[in-house]
């Protein structure tokens, strides 16, 4: 298996990006990533996206390649619900690692503000099981609410403990120029915010986001394109049932555990080696379970740890210095690419927000309610 390196990253500001077309937003990230990689062009592109069908556009690889001067390269779109960015990275990694290509650009793109919010909310639930869940009218927030209720009851977690996550994420995002929500909040902001799907409140949830991110993956031959290449030391993915009713335990994401184990084994590092991580906090409950499945906390203990002040800059590991999905934002199919780009920049030392440094970083991108999970381990 050939080694794969990150030699270029490009991020766009996350938010309500109705100022630009989908292809233009993608191009902004692509051009930045190519510039970061010494203006080198890729031989292939993989696009991570979930919901461009809502604007009647598929075939994004061809569309974005054409719009960025890359007509003739190879490529396709990779989709795994909210885990599409991670899926695209797995595809891109294997295209380089196999020797089929030496330079592959992975582009995550999502525009959720193109359609009225109810339509977008319905679209996000395509990650669930259409025949056994969506048909009953449940929303994606509603599914996460079921898990949150069960988890809080089972592990005696308080409303206040859960709320600390959002406060911490807003503190981190305050420094991140790409973040959607750059405003500090208090525990009261979270606890008194409107209920979306009991017990999920507005500030337990990530915002609706538009955004694009791009990463240039290369083989050994091209690692010198950047002064500080970052090695993709491990990558693991796992699938679980989209339908929650068929899960064995509602407070666990087995796919998150499996994908973490696969990525760590491949990277030959222990979870204790990880200095910094970006995890998938679409809801605070998802953050809790992700932290526990990765192994940063015992089962049922993550909220207690973060309420005590763990995972902040200065701790090991630092979690979500970007502000996470909660405050950086969650441009669905782009999120997994943002996370890995942010970790790469932390290890390089040039993340434009909170700098926490480190030698080993991890990113975990979760699709559905834990049904398609990709974990990536990076090494300086």
The answer to whether 82 is a known catalytic residue is yes
Q: Which two tokens stand for residue 189?
A: 């902001």
Closest CB to a second copy among residues 51, 230: 51
The Cα–Cα gap between 39 and 8 comes to 9
Q: Answer for the pair 284, 162: CB distance below 8 angstroms, yes or no.
A: yes
Which 240-269 residues touch a second copy, going by CB under 8 A?
240-243, 246, 254-255, 258-259, 262
The answer to whether 206 is a known catalytic residue is no
Q: Of these residues, 67, 82, 113, 170, which one is catalytic?
A: 82
Peptide bond into 199 cis (omega under 30): yes
3-state secondary structure of 209: coil
Q: CB of 245: closest distance to a second copy in angstroms?
A: 12
How far are the Cα atoms of 46, 95, 185 from residue 84, in angstroms, in the given order? 10, 16, 30
String of b and e for 25-49 (b: at least 16 CB within 10 Å)? bbbbbbebbbebbeebebbbbbbbb
Which 215-244 residues touch a second copy, going by CB under 8 A?
235-243
How far are the Cα atoms of 9, 88, 242, 265, 323 from residue 214, in angstroms, in the given order? 6, 11, 27, 26, 19
Closest CB to a second copy among residues 43, 292: 43
Closest CB to a second copy among residues 72, 177: 72
Closest CB to a second copy among residues 93, 178: 93
Which 79-118 residues touch a second copy, going by CB under 8 A?
79-81, 83-84, 87-88, 90-91, 93-95, 97-100
Which 127-186 residues touch a second copy, going by CB under 8 A?
127-131, 134
The Cα–Cα gap between 48 and 334 comes to 6
Among 206, 277, 368, 379, binds a second copy (CB under 8 A): 368
Which 14-73 residues touch a second copy, going by CB under 8 A?
21, 23, 44-45, 50-51, 53-63, 65-66, 70-73
3-state secondary structure of 27: helix
Q: Which two tokens stand for residue 32?
A: 């930045």
Q: Answer for the pair 210, 112: CB distance below 8 angstroms, yes or no.
A: yes
Q: CB of 23: closest distance to a second copy in angstroms?
A: 8
Q: CB of 279: closest distance to a second copy in angstroms?
A: 19
Number of residues that bind a second copy (CB under 8 A): 75
Q: CB of 234: closest distance to a second copy in angstroms?
A: 11
Q: Answer for the pair 141, 200: CB distance below 8 angstroms, yes or no.
A: yes
Closest CB to a second copy among residues 13, 243: 243
**By the rule CB under 8 A, 120 interacts with a second copy:** no
Q: CB of 54: closest distance to a second copy in angstroms?
A: 8
Active-site positions? 82, 330
């Amino acid at each position: 298996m050939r080694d794969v390196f990150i030699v270029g990253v490009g991020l766009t500001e996350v938010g309500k990006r109705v100022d630009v077309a989908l292809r233009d937003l993608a191009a902004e990230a692509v051009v930045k990533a190519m510039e970061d990689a010494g203006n080198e062009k890729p031989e292939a592109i993989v696009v991570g996206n979930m919901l461009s069908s809502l604007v009647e556009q598929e075939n994004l690889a061809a569309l974005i390649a054409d719009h960025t001067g890359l007509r003739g390269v190879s490529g396709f779109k990779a989709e795994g619900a909210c885990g599409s960015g991670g899926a695209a990275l797995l595809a891109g990694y294997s295209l380089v690692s196999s020797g089929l290509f030496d330079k592959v650009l992975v582009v995550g793109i999502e525009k959720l503000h193109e359609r009225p919010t109810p339509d977008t909310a319905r679209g996000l639930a395509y990650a669930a099981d259409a025949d056994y869940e969506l048909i009953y009218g449940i929303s994606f927030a509603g599914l996460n609410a079921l898990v949150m209720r069960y988890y809080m009851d089972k592990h005696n977690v308080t409303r206040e403990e859960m709320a600390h996550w959002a406060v911490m994420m807003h503190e981190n995002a305050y420094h991140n120029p790409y973040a959607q929500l750059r405003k500090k909040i208090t525990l009261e902001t979270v606890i008194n915010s409107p209920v979306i799907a009991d017990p999920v409140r507005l500030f337990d949830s990530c915002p609706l986001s538009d955004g694009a991110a791009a990463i240039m993956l290369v083989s050994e031959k091209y690692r010198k394109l950047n002064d500080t290449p970052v090695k993709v030391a491990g990558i693991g993915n796992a699938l679980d049932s989209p339908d929650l009713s068929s899960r064995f335990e509602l407070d666990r994401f087995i796919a998150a555990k499996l994908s973490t184990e696969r990525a760590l084994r491949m990277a030959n590092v222990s979870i204790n080696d990880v200095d910094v991580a970006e995890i998938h906090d679409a809801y605070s409950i998802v953050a809790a379970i992700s932290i526990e499945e990765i192994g940063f906390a015992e089962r049922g203990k993550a909220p207690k740890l973060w309420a005590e002040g763990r995972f902040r800059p200065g701790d090991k590991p630092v979690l979500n210095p970007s502000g996470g999905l909660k405050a950086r934002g969650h441009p669905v199919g782009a999120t997994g690419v943002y996370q890995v780009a942010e970790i790469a920049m932390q290890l390089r030392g040039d993340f434009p927000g909170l700098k926490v440094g480190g030698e080993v970083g991890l990113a975990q991108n979760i699709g559905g309610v834990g049904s398609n999970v990709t974990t990536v381990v990076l090494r300086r």
